[in-house]
Amino acid sequence: MHYLVTGGAGFIGSNIVSLLISKGHSVTVIDNLSKGNLRNLEGLNFNFIKGDIRDDKLISSLMKKNVDGIFHLAALISTTKSIEDPTEDCNVNALGTANILHHAVRANVKKIVYSSSAAIFGELKESFIDEGHPLEPISPYGVSKLAGEKYCFAYSKSFPISVVALRYFNVYGVNQRFDEYGNVIPIFAERLLERKPLTIYGDGEQTRDFINVKDVANANYLAMMSDVNNCSYNVGSGSTITINELSRTVQKVSGIKAEIHYAPERVGDIKHCCANTSKIRSDLGFTASSNFEDALRDYFEWFLG
């Protein structure tokens, strides 16, 4: 089978590409390399196109090359930057997704697995977030990812294309590079490498559900290979740790000690976040299998090495 992976040179996308190739599939990657890095794909045999998912002519031409399915990951992923520039966030995440769907339908692509986010839920209203949790995002990023989901579901109801939306919680792992606007684990890793203090926003008791990127890649693969359509699934570990606990764990696995500095809470940050993963386990047979501390140690070996 031939798959198109948008944002395939990025952190999660590159891990999906690697898995697809290991399964014997052919892959085309489109990435504008604004955040993606071709080093993430070294040693892999695939077709690469540098471009933007909003490029109408380019996307139309890619869809005509016998694409069996699309893993749509290309997006702006920073809550902070979405607040700074909500228009660009919307253009890429919502309108870019609409463009992918439009041309996929015209080219008779069979299925799209859309990378969504737990940011669409907003603040936690229950002990665990299941797929029926109210969708009340509190950042432009969460709004744009939810809009992408809605576009996907509208197309799957109106046209002969199957769609699955995967709502990622806090993904970490190999190929996740430092970005000052990015996720906490690579930021902590960079600070440790530079022997600088770790900054924690708020009191550090906010909780996060961390899931390893290899598990996320597997969830994507299972979703594509399944018969399910017009469904959304939480993709998380189903357990949480506090940011204070995380700060201690990263020091332990890296072997580097650091001071902890506390700063005011950031606008748009969610206090608590944990996935109820019973639906994806039941429908797709997916369970996160990575041990957090072991996988974190593997990540630090990659990052610090």
Q: Could you tell me the domains of the chain?
A: 2-172+210-235 (3.40.50.720)
Out of 141, 168, 172, 233, the active site residue is: 141
Q: Which two tokens stand for residue 228?
A: 């399910």
Predicted TM-score (pTM) of the model is 0.94
141 catalytically annotated: yes
287 pLDDT band (50/70/90 cuts)?
Answer: very high
Q: CB neighbours of 162 closer than 8 A, spacing ≥ 6?
A: 110, 111, 112, 156, 228, 229, 230
Output the pLDDT for position 127: 67
**Alpha helix (H) ranges present in the chain?**
11-22, 56-63, 79-84, 86-90, 96-106, 140-158, 184-193, 213-225, 243-254, 278-284, 292-304
Read off φ and ψ for residue 276, nearest 5 degrees: -90, 115
Per-residue pLDDT tens digits for 231-283 = 999 999 999 999 999 999 999 999 999 999 999 998 767 788 899 999 999 99
Per-residue pLDDT tens digits for 120-138 = 998 878 768 999 999 999 9
Using an 8 Å Cβ cutoff, are 11 and 69 in contact? Answer: no
Per-residue pLDDT tens digits for 135-165 = 999 999 999 999 999 999 999 999 999 999 9
305 pLDDT band (50/70/90 cuts)?
Answer: confident
Per-residue pLDDT tens digits for 210-240 = 999 999 999 999 999 999 999 999 999 999 9
In Å, how far are 76, 98, 113 from 155, measured between CA atoms? Answer: 22, 9, 13
Q: What are residue 116's DSSP bridge partners? A: 167
Using an 8 Å Cβ cutoff, are 36 and 65 in contact? Answer: no
Which DSSP category does 126 fall into? S
Q: At residue 52, what is the residue type? A: D
Per-residue pLDDT tens digits for 14-68 = 999 999 999 999 999 999 999 999 999 999 999 999 999 999 999 999 998 899 9
